[in-house]
């Protein structure tokens, strides 16, 4: 598995991260097999959140991997906090409480990365800074980041938070590529030119923040998967054509499309299927040509001015 640096940190991470939001859908033996397969593929970065399964997913993962000190040093653990029932909460008290719960469920003393999960409209960045200082000084969290935040929201946090923000999880796929499209359609009067995120892609590149695309196979918010969908015949035809060239699956090519971008992104894959997991990991070995990347982009209905 090819590796990159996580943001401005010295931590080396695999280019594909394993999302554990659905691990509670597996039986114990299945979960153990899935986690072991990920490790064999070199995908030792596991992404969690305190809301996944109401915390159950973190517990299931810890049991599946048979968490102990030796195992812990071989894996990279990331979790997120801030989403509560009917609201978002970045208060100092809640962040600290959430991390303690996460660590208990994951049976570990520390997280490699903690992300703030969705922007909190009532955020008081001074409180976030206090919480981060306590977590860093206690050794409970090594690195910090955000999820679904735009440049000004990150700048507001950076005014108070002394730790580098090393990651930003953002929805991105071939069919949900506005953060790419608005950079291509600068000064154009079309839908693709609308800048909905404050140029977050360029901002993250300028500030050494690793973008972690979530839902890399989805179209819309959670409307469905574009691979094999009759809503995207031209796109699937093009992906299949390129997949045949590389003797790979369409899943592999969809992830390879994201990895081809020079921003050095780390897609979060959510599959619990062993074969699809392996196909996603195979993408780290494929480097699409510029022509192939743009042909897939256009086949999804994205336009070039």
What are the structure tokens assigned to 250, written together? 């369409």
CB-based contact 77:46 (threshold 8 Å)? yes
> Residue 114: what pLDDT?
98
pLDDT range class, residue 185, cuts 50, 70, 90? very high
Residue 26: exposed, middle, or buried by beta-carbon count in 10 A (0-12, 13-18, 19+)? middle
Digit-coded pLDDT (tens) for 227-258 = 999 999 999 999 999 999 999 999 999 999 99
CA atoms of 163 and 129, how far apart (whole Å): 8
What would the mean pLDDT of 120-126 be, rounded to a whole number?
A: 98
Asked if the model's pLDDT at residue 221 lies above 90, the reply is: no
Asked if the model's pLDDT at residue 89 lies above 90, the reply is: yes
Asked if the model's pLDDT at residue 133 lies above 90, the reply is: yes
CB-based contact 239:253 (threshold 8 Å)? yes
What would the mean pLDDT of 100-126 be, rounded to a whole number?
A: 98
Eight-state DSSP code of residue 9: S
What would the mean pLDDT of 8-14 be, rounded to a whole number?
A: 97
Q: Buried b / exposed e across 266-305, counting CB within 10 Å, b at 16+?
A: bbbbbbbeeebbbbbbbbbebebeeebbeebbebbebeee
3-state secondary structure of 260: coil
Asked if the model's pLDDT at residue 204 lies above 90, the reply is: yes
Asked if the model's pLDDT at residue 143 lies above 90, the reply is: yes
What are the start-end ranges of the E strands in the chain? Answer: 3-5, 12-14, 17-19, 45-47, 76-81, 83-84, 87-88, 111-117, 141-147, 165-171, 210-214, 218-219, 224-225, 268-269
Percent of the chain with pLDDT over 70: 100
3-state secondary structure of 278: helix
CA atoms of 123 and 133, how far apart (whole Å): 17
Percent of the chain with pLDDT over 90: 96
CA dihedral in degrees (156, 162, 167, 171; nearest 10)? Answer: -20
- Secondary structure of the chain: what % helix, strand, coil (to 5)? 45, 20, 40
Asked if the model's pLDDT at residue 155 lies above 90, the reply is: yes
Eight-state DSSP code of residue 280: H
Asked if the model's pLDDT at residue 223 lies above 90, the reply is: no
Give the mean pLDDT of the chain: 97
> Residue 92: what pLDDT?
98
C-alpha gyration radius of the chain? 19
Eight-state DSSP code of residue 192: G
For domain 3-299, which CATH number applies: 3.20.20.100, 3.40.47.10, 3.30.70.270, 3.40.190.10? 3.20.20.100
What would the mean pLDDT of 214-219 be, rounded to a whole number?
A: 96
CA atoms of 73 and 303, how far apart (whole Å): 45
Longest dimension (CA), the chain: 56
> Residue 222: what pLDDT?
78
pLDDT range class, residue 220, cuts 50, 70, 90? confident
CB-based contact 17:269 (threshold 8 Å)? yes
């Amino acid at each position: 598995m090819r590796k990159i640096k996580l943001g401005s940190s010295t931590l080396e991470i695999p280019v594909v991260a394993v999302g554990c939001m659905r691990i509670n859908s597996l039986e114990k033996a299945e979960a153990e097999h899935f986690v072991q397969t990920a490790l064999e593929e070199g995908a030792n970065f596991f992404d969690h959140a305190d809301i996944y399964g109401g915390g159950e997913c973190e517990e299931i993962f810890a049991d599946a991997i048979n968490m102990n000190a030796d195992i812990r040093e071989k894996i990279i653990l990331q979790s997120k906090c801030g989403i509560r029932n009917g609201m978002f909460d970045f208060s100092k008290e809640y962040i600290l409480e959430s991390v303690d719960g996460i660590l208990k469920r994951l049976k570990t003393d520390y997280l490699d990365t903690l992300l703030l999960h969705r922007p909190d409209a009532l955020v008081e960045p001074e409180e976030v800074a206090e919480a981060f200082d306590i977590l860093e000084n206690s050794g409970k969290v090594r690195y910090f980041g955000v999820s679904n935040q735009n440049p000004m929201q990150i700048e507001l946090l950076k005014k108070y938070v002394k730790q580098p923000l090393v990651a930003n999880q953002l929805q991105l796929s071939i069919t949900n590529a506005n953060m790419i499209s608005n950079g291509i359609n600068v000064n154009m009067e079309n839908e693709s030119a609308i800048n909905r995120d404050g140029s977050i892609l360029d901002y993250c590149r300028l500030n050494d923040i690793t973008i972690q695309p979530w839902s890399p196979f989805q179209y819309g918010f959670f409307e469905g998967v574009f691979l094999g969908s009759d809503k995207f015949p031209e796109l699937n035809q093009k992906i299949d054509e390129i997949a045949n060239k590389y003797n790979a699956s369409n899943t592999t090519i969809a992830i390879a499309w994201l990895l081809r971008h020079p921003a050095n992104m780390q897609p979060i894959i959510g599959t619990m299927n062993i074969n699809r997991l392996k196909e996603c990991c195979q993408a780290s070995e494929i480097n699409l040509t510029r022509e192939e990347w743009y042909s897939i982009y256009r086949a999804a209905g994205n336009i070039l001015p």
